[in-house]
Structure 1
């Protein structure tokens, strides 16, 4: 009887625990899917902290950049406290949809594939996926990339853009791009001649060249296409998208966006 009683107590406790865990799981899922980001007092912004000049760390280790300044202006406009959260960029959509972050904001290119996973704000900056080589490279055109080692950031729109030109992409050495955790690592491997070319965002490459010296590199006339940056918001959260877009237009109208753009690019290049 004692053994039977202990077994009944144990089974009851396990059943109660399972019910509690299920309830918690359901509640967490519900919160993630039903709570609009615009209703939160604090926004956690997911970013790549090596993506200069949009979001990166300065000499003191502080996060800075064009997108950082835009986010701060938007936070002030909407009365939100901001937390800047560096993330593994290859996991950005998973971080957003799990609720670990509230916005993806750091040179996040709008693509059809990404639209299936997240909702985007209005585009705020134009960009191109350009090809950079060392100044003395024999590579003069996209066709010359055949048989060469071409670097890019893992899970980036640069890879997506190259994959769309499937025949050319398959002609690369090993039949694909050499991927890196971030663009800086790719560009450093180019410097060391471990790879032959890098495909990356124009704003990143041109900023890198200004730091390293423009006589060391050459940007090809051909590229892998124009694109636009937007801010990623959880799928279906139209309330936040609409509020964000309205606030952005107001920041444009009062000159805030132009001021930030001029600070980082020397002129108003914002959309």
Structure 2
């Protein structure tokens, strides 16, 4: 009797420990839940043109917005965009306040430890912009020239990592934002601007013919859609639909709209 009682107590204790430790895997119901409620909630920083930002009427628009809406349409659900503080957006995702992060999210090893990513849909380069009339056609031509960039940006990091280029420059002017740098370029106060391609092509597309982008760049970073690690079915579905959007030319049209060029990662 004592042996039976002892066995029963061990069994109960083992079950309790397994439950507490979460050893029983939770079902991946993310995709079915989204389709059932007919809503996909996307978290974003709504102040990141051209990826996601508010227009003059207050509506959230942008390249990633159009991409996400197209995925939602093909999934048969409404896409709701939920502005979230960027430094806490991964926590919001893992707390299930949002279903995905779609907002120029760079794929990094650190983030891979916290969340899952879709396949790369866009590569963001650090590009060099000059005026259309400029004789500068390569990085070598920037010797003894004045270059502008946004302070604390990836562009600043990319330039400082290229000692050969940075040491050849006459001066590096740092601005609080890229708009100020481009205004100085337009006014001939600087010779070139180093900037994220997604930002630079958006602004130059607003004034076609005024600027040109050099063929050379200062580095590449990959963008992906962020989802919870447990949500494998949702990740697979978004990968599939992004693939369709690329192959049928829809992604190209969206890219042309915002950047004046197809910069979608193939």
Match of 2:258 in 1: 264
- Whether the 8 Å CA contact 1:66–1:261 is kept in 2: the answer is yes
Residue 179 of structure 1 deviates from its aligned partner by 9.7
2:81 match: secondary structure:
strand
Match of 1:47 in 2: 44
Is 1:37 the counterpart of 2:34 in the alignment? no
Match of 1:201 among 190, 193, 196: 196
Question: What runs of 5+ residues in structure 1 fail to find an aligned partner?
Answer: 1-28, 172-177
Q: Is the alpha carbon distance of 1:190 and 1:102 closer, same or farther for their aligned partners in structure 2, counting shifts above 3 Å? A: same
User: 2:151 & 2:82 partners in 1: Cα distance?
Assistant: 19
Q: Is the alpha carbon distance of 1:59 and 1:230 closer, same or farther for their aligned partners in structure 2, counting shifts above 3 Å? A: same
1:44 match: secondary structure:
strand
Is 1:74 the counterpart of 2:71 in the alignment? yes
User: 2:30 & 2:248 partners in 1: Cα distance?
Assistant: 25
Match of 1:188 in 2: 180
- Whether the 8 Å CA contact 1:121–1:230 is kept in 2: the answer is yes
Residue 252 of structure 1 deviates from its aligned partner by 3.3
Match of 2:96 in 1: 99
Q: Is the alpha carbon distance of 1:258 and 1:149 closer, same or farther for their aligned partners in structure 2, counting shifts above 3 Å? A: closer
Residue 69 of structure 1 deviates from its aligned partner by 1.1
Q: How many residues were matched structurally?
A: 230
Match of 2:229 among 232, 235, 239: 235
Match of 1:63 among 57, 60, 63: 60
- Whether the 8 Å CA contact 2:129–2:192 is kept in 1: the answer is yes
- Whether the 8 Å CA contact 2:28–2:230 is kept in 1: the answer is no
User: 1:119 & 1:239 partners in 2: Cα distance?
Assistant: 11
Question: What runs of 5+ residues in structure 2 fail to find an aligned partner?
Answer: 1-21, 133-137, 168-173, 186-190
User: 2:109 & 2:192 partners in 1: Cα distance?
Assistant: 26
2:127 match: secondary structure:
strand
Residue 131 of structure 1 deviates from its aligned partner by 5.3
- Whether the 8 Å CA contact 1:153–1:186 is kept in 2: the answer is no
* Cα RMSD after superposing both structures: 4.4
TM-score w.r.t. length of structure 2: 0.62
- Whether the 8 Å CA contact 1:109–1:157 is kept in 2: the answer is no
Q: 1:235-254 to 2 correspondence within 5 Å?
A: 235-254=229-248
